[in-house]
Amino acid sequence: MQLDDVVALDRVLPTGEQISIYGIVNQVRARHEGATFDSDVFLIADGVLPAEISEAALVQVTRVVPEIFVPPLPGTPVRIATDDERDTALDFDSVLRRLPAGLSRENEPIFLDLDFLDGTKGAHVNISGISGVATKTSYATFLLYSLFNSGVLGKEAVNTKGLIFNVKGEDLLFLDSHNAHMTSDQADRYQHLGLTPAPFGSVGIVAPPRRGDPAATPAVGARTTGVRPFFWTLDTFCRDNLLPFLFADAEDERQQYTIVVQSVAAQLAASVRHNEAVDGAVRIDGATLRTFAELVDFIERKLIPDDPDEKPDQRWTGRAVSGGSINAFVRRLSSSVRHVDQLIRADVADSPSYALDLDRNQLTVVDIHQLHDRAKRFVVGVVLRQAFDAKEASGVARPLQFIVLDELNKYAPRDSSSPIKEILLDVAERGRSLGIILIGAQQTASEVERRVVANSAIRVVGRLDTAEAGRDQYGFLPGVQRQRATILKPGSMYLSQPRLPIPLLIEFPFPAWATRSAEAARAGSGDTDPFEGL
């Protein structure tokens, strides 16, 4: 008997009905019975004091079948549950659509009930764990891979879309490459789960344009091919009301300048209502604007006229707004230019074609790791908004759109409000019915908006910081699991799902796709010398 073993026992009621009680070993201990003092172990080892070794395990009950909650009787023999009985113990037997979610330590598959992920009964996944050791993103990609390839989605799998924001390093830019470090052992683990180890099939990688590059080539380092640039045209920026996403605290009622944000955004939208330009540029008051800097200049002139005697245009500033608020707005707007001017533009030929298209590939990776925090928030907010609006407009939940976003604490912080947080809350609370499923991750769930985490039906926890593990956001982890979460090794996580009262320890196989450029196995690389013959 060891930790995490699945066990079963039976009890016969006076009525003749047989009850099976299932559980998971949660604590094990061995002690000398007969020892009074700790130092008695030496006497016992020397053969001086008689004592017996007793081993005991504490079992947490996972299930009682049928649900008659009587205690197991002392002295009842306990057996290790295997095969079908294990499925019953972990409540897999009643799950119709099983999503492979990982392996137990004995290499047995562990499943999720898709009903709790696809919106039927619940939706969203939330993953917590410290950076580096917790392997949050790897697990998120594994879940996506399992969703797309396990067949659990049926025919729908082809049209199901994934969206991943690459927030750190270039980790996720190689999802379509084989992993050079893949071993046959790991491949077996995929087989065990009913999966074929392979990279993601249809991957579209987009990155923001290089700053200051008039040709708008994508700003990526390690990966040189197959990356498309993306940006928004000025026309889209004005028409779709994207201005508020530049201001992290635009929704904060205490900030006076938010009134100006709303007024300016409304004016911009009104100005482009009859915009005839097809190249993404906007024409307002006779001026054609092609870059974000030009647009900002234009707005500034509207708000702070060159002539000191002239009053600012009230349609742009909003009514009864003090000069201080206008200045605050202008200051924030101007400072944003250098962070986002490569993302909002119409100075490239065929600008509208650079719009982000989430439907082109099954999995879209949006690389934002090189962007400034402000630009990151802008991109995440706008992309989420577009995905959300598209789903809302289509009116049907299927096919599903999965969104993987790390560092939720940055986008949906517990205190403070912002347009991005609003859109994330929308996704968390209404995404289930719209078919937008958020796979969110963060180092510390305690710093993320409670409602975003609370709406996740499935919680996953990797290695936790000791202080963090004690917070009540992890109330779904019983005490022992909470302690063990602080020493989990990479690739191990606790998975909590609504069907089971206690979280399961899972391991997931090594990614079959490259997670950094060193792992990317390219055809022919390393075997031939490109300079041969020179």
> Footprint of other proteins on this chain (CB under 8 A)?
34, 36-37, 39-40, 43-52
Q: What is the token pair recorded at 3? A: 């930790």
Nearer to other proteins by Cβ, of 9 and 49: the residue is 49
CB of 32 to other proteins, least distance (A): 10
Nearer to other proteins by Cβ, of 33 and 285: the residue is 33
Nearer to other proteins by Cβ, of 16 and 47: the residue is 47
Say how far apart CA 292 and CA 236 lie, in whole Å: 12
Query: Pairing mode, if any, of strands 161-166 and 363-367?
Result: parallel
CB of 11 to other proteins, least distance (A): 23
Nearer to other proteins by Cβ, of 40 and 249: the residue is 40
CB of 168 to other proteins, least distance (A): 57
Nearer to other proteins by Cβ, of 34 and 324: the residue is 34
Task: Look at residues 404, 336, 325, 316 and name the one whose alpha carbon lies nearest to residue 364.
Answer: 404
CB of 37 to other proteins, least distance (A): 6
CB of 491 to other proteins, least distance (A): 41
116, 458 Cβ separation under 8 angstroms: yes
CB of 42 to other proteins, least distance (A): 11
- State the sign of the Cα–Cα–Cα–Cα dihedral 491, 492, 496, 500: positive
Question: In whole angstroms, how far apart are CA 266 and each of 237, 271, 318, 392?
Answer: 12, 9, 10, 22
Q: What is the DSSP string of 165-229?
A: EE-STTGGGGTTSEETT--HHHHHHHHHTT------SSEEEEEPBPTT-TT--B--SS--SSEEE
Nearer to other proteins by Cβ, of 46 and 310: the residue is 46
CB of 50 to other proteins, least distance (A): 4
Nearer to other proteins by Cβ, of 45 and 68: the residue is 45
CB of 31 to other proteins, least distance (A): 15
79, 10 Cβ separation under 8 angstroms: no
Per the document, the length of the chain is 534
Nearer to other proteins by Cβ, of 38 and 350: the residue is 38
Nearer to other proteins by Cβ, of 40 and 297: the residue is 40
Q: What is the token pair recorded at 169? A: 């390093």
Nearer to other proteins by Cβ, of 1 and 45: the residue is 45
222, 517 Cβ separation under 8 angstroms: yes
89, 111 Cβ separation under 8 angstroms: no
CB of 43 to other proteins, least distance (A): 6
- What's the number of CA atoms in the CB half-sphere (13 Å) around residue 357? 8
Say how far apart CA 471 and CA 482 lie, in whole Å: 10
Task: Look at residues 172, 158, 100 and name the one whose alpha carbon lies nearest to residue 398.
Answer: 158
CB of 49 to other proteins, least distance (A): 5
Percentages helix, strand, coil for the chain (3-state, rounded to 5) are: 35, 20, 45
The backbone region for 216, taken as left when phi is positive above 0, alpha when psi lies in -120 to 50, beta otherwise, is left
Nearer to other proteins by Cβ, of 45 and 355: the residue is 45
Question: In whole angstroms, how far apart are CA 285 and each of 18, 24, 157, 188, 315?
Answer: 82, 71, 49, 66, 14
343, 232 Cβ separation under 8 angstroms: yes
Say how far apart CA 448 and CA 417 lie, in whole Å: 12
Say how far apart CA 524 and CA 52 lie, in whole Å: 64
Q: How remote is the C-alpha of 288 from its chain's centroid?
A: 40
CB of 133 to other proteins, least distance (A): 43
CB of 73 to other proteins, least distance (A): 18
Nearer to other proteins by Cβ, of 36 and 224: the residue is 36
Name 11's bridge partners. 19
Q: What is the token pair recorded at 20? A: 């099976």
205, 177 Cβ separation under 8 angstroms: no
